[in-house]
A = this chain, B = another copy of it.
Amino acid sequence: MLIVMHHSATNEQLKAVTDAVEAMGLVAEPIPGSLRTAIGVLGNQGYVDDTSIRELPGVREVIHVSKPYKLVSRDFHPASSIVDAAGVKFGDGQPPVLIAGPCTVESEEQMLAAARLVKNSGAQMLRGGAFKPRTGPHTFQGLGVEGLKFLRQAGDAEGLPVITEVMRIEQLETICRYADVLQVGARNMQNFDLLKEVGKCGHPVLLKRGMSATLEEFLSAAEYIIAEGNPRVILCERGIRTFEQATRNTLDLSIVPLVREMSHLPIVVDPSHATGRRNLVGPMAKAAIVVGAHGVMIEVHPDPDRALCDGAQSLTPEGFGKLALELKCLRSFLETL
């Protein structure tokens, strides 16, 4: 931590800050500059809470050098983590994983049809929402436990592990019974109680980036899960909220190579929710693989025009089959680079 003093700070103010640092059991090392003095803080083992320092008289700015996500950071965990989710591996050196399925579980028939086409395309994991977060209360909210059963059944029928979203703590036990991977949605990325409970269970977790979460907040959310003892976290970029509204959100692909630099955790990309437009899903999925994502998650529906939710961004079976093939070719090509 670096404490920057006002250029007009007095010696008494400097001393008060130094004392406050030492009261925290840390070492204060003044760095006199030509215009102002800064104080380096040494001895901390990680992120320091600056509450008692920031507003002391004479302090202009407090700059943090340590980051609040030590367990997630590559700094002290240089080797990349491989997350094994029911036999499907996410991480460096593994082929990128294709997760696919409808936004929402609607019926037994729909899920069986979806699982079949997902399997046939060569994808490795089946998705489907049983509990749905919806912006307004007057729209379809998901089938609940019945949906979980249809999802599991469809996954079993085709030998695909399944992933579904958990929205509240009380659902956790039930969902763990039916699903192989838990998804924490963008709206819950800072639902810290949920993160902690998810961190206490043994299931792998796909954590979506919040719509307005910085990279630092995203990694800190993952830290919550790992801090509770669950290291099997897969990060998921799904678009951030910006002024641009021609697409639903702005898919921030540049975060993918950056996360790979900063963290040992795998990261996947969800181009369907990010763009909200069917025509953009394919190009952005391919781009995700090219920038180094460890997987992509795609919405596909046996009959998208009759989908109860997000039909506009769901691929048709034909479109999905074509994309899955292109992604496979792309993977092979990238291995030759």
- A326 located at the interface, meaning its Cβ lies under 8 Å from any Cβ of chain B in the complex: yes
Alpha-carbon distance A76/B6, docked complex (angstroms): 11
Least CB distance, A337 to chain B, in whole angstroms: 5
Alpha-carbon distance A12/B245, docked complex (angstroms): 30
Q: Tell whether, in the assembled complex, residue A212 and residue B279 are in contact, meaning their CB atoms are under 8 Å apart.
A: no
Total residues of chain A contacting the partner, CB 8 A: 118
Q: Tell whether, in the assembled complex, residue A253 and residue B251 are in contact, meaning their CB atoms are under 8 Å apart.
A: yes
- Which 7 interchain pairs have the tightest Cβ spacing? A212-B212, A68-B136, A287-B287, A51-B311, A283-B291, A31-B40, A187-B190
Residue of B whose beta carbon sits closest to that of A136: B68
Which of chain A's residues 237-254 have a Cβ closer than 8 Å to chain B? Answer: 240-247, 250-254
Residue of B whose beta carbon sits closest to that of A244: B214
Residues of B within 8 A of A35 (CB): 44-46, 66, 75
- A309 located at the interface, meaning its Cβ lies under 8 Å from any Cβ of chain B in the complex: yes
Contact partner, A333, options B136, B210, B333, Cβ 8 Å: B333
Residues of B within 8 A of A292 (CB): 283
Residues of B within 8 A of A194 (CB): 168
Q: Tell whether, in the assembled complex, residue B243 and residue A212 are in contact, meaning their CB atoms are under 8 Å apart.
A: yes
Least CB distance, A84 to chain B, in whole angstroms: 24
- A108 located at the interface, meaning its Cβ lies under 8 Å from any Cβ of chain B in the complex: no
Chain A, residues 167-184, CB within 8 Å of chain B (1/0): the string is 111100000000000000
Chain A, residues 1-19, CB within 8 Å of chain B (1/0): the string is 0101011100000000000
* Count of identical protomers in the assembly: 4
What are 28 A-B contacts with C-beta separation under 8 Å? Answer: A4-B65, A6-B75, A33-B40, A33-B65, A34-B42, A35-B75, A38-B40, A47-B138, A51-B307, A51-B308, A52-B305, A52-B306, A54-B311, A55-B304, A61-B65, A68-B135, A68-B138, A135-B217, A135-B220, A137-B192, A168-B169, A191-B191, A210-B212, A242-B252, A247-B255, A250-B254, A251-B253, A326-B337
Alpha-carbon distance A144/B55, docked complex (angstroms): 27
Residues of B within 8 A of A65 (CB): 2, 4, 33, 36, 38, 61, 63
Chain A, residues 247-287, CB within 8 Å of chain B (1/0): the string is 10011111111100100000000000011011110011011
Alpha-carbon distance A134/B169, docked complex (angstroms): 18
Residues of B within 8 A of A52 (CB): 305-306, 311
